[in-house]
Amino acid sequence: MKLVIGNDHVAVEMKQEIKAYLEEKGIEVIDVGTNSTSRFNYPVSGYKAAKLVAEGKADGGILICGTGVGISLAANKVKGIRACVCSEPYSAKLSKQHNNSNMIAFGARVIGIETAKMIVDEWLNASYEGERHQIRVDMIAEIEETGHLAVAEK
Ligand code: RB5
C-alpha cells in the first residue's frame, strides 16, 4: 500500500509521527508536506496530495493542518476526492464504509497524536460497503461533474 501525506507548518511534528507510524506498518508514504515551521499555505500540500490520489498514484491520503479543515477543503476541489475531517475514530471508519472516503484529515491543534493514530487505524482497516451507499456517493459525483443534482431539481 502507498499513501500520500500532506501538512502545513502547524502540523509538522504530527505529520512526522504519523508518517513514521505508517512506515513501521510497512506502508510506503509519499510526503508532499512541509518539514519547516515557517508559514506554509495548506492548499499547496492539499492539492498535491489530492492529485496523487485522484490520478491513482497513491491508494489514499492523510491531510493535517491546524484543524484539518482548510487542507481538506483544498483537496476536495480536486475531482474524485472525498476528503473527510475526523476528530475521532468512529467518523473515520464510517467515512470509509459509507462515504468511500479516499482521504482523511485532522487537526494538529484539535487532537493529540494517540487519537490521530486511532483515526488512521480505523480508516485503514475499514472497507467501503457500497450497495445502498453507492447511490449517494454517485450523487456527490454528479454534483461534482455537472454542477447539478437532477433528482433535487425536479
Ligand atoms: C494556519 O494558521 C491554520 O489556518 C491552518 O493550519 C488550518 O487550521 C486551516 O484550516
CATH of the domain at 65: 3.40.1400.10
Q: How far is the CA of 109 from the centre of ligand 1 (A)?
A: 9
Q: How high is the pLDDT of residue 75?
A: 99
Q: How far is the CA of 99 from the centre of ligand 1 (A)?
A: 25
Examine residue 149 and state whether it is found in any structural domain, yes or no. no
Query: Considering its fold, how many domains does the chain have in total?
Result: 1
Examine residue 100 and state whether it is found in any structural domain, yes or no. yes
* pLDDT tens track, the chain, 154 positions: 999 999 999 999 999 999 999 999 999 999 999 999 999 999 999 999 999 999 999 999 999 999 999 999 999 999 999 999 999 999 999 999 999 999 999 999 999 999 999 999 999 999 999 999 999 999 999 999 999 999 999 8
Examine residue 53 and state whether it is found in any structural domain, yes or no. yes
Q: How high is the pLDDT of residue 15?
A: 99
* Mutational test site, ligand 1, from 7, 13, 42, max ligand atoms within 8 Å of CB: 42
Examine residue 135 and state whether it is found in any structural domain, yes or no. no
Protein residue whose Cα sits closest to atom 4 of ligand 1: 66
Quick check: CB of 42 below 6 Å from ligand 1?
Answer: yes
Q: How high is the pLDDT of residue 134?
A: 98
Q: How high is the pLDDT of residue 37?
A: 98
Q: Output the nine-digit C-alpha cell for 27.
A: 506502508
Q: How high is the pLDDT of residue 99?
A: 98
Examine residue 116 and state whether it is found in any structural domain, yes or no. yes
Q: How high is the pLDDT of residue 148?
A: 98
Examine residue 117 and state whether it is found in any structural domain, yes or no. yes
Q: How high is the pLDDT of residue 69?
A: 98
- Give the burial string for 8-24 (b: 16+ CB within 10 Å, else e): bbbbbebbeebbebbee
The pTM is what? Answer: 0.97
Q: How high is the pLDDT of residue 27?
A: 98
Judge residue 117's burial from the number of C-beta atoms within 10 Å of its C-beta, 0-12 exposed, 13-18 middle, 19 or more buried: middle
Domain span including residue 103 = 2-129
Q: How high is the pLDDT of residue 59?
A: 98
Q: Output the nine-digit C-alpha cell for 103.
A: 482521504
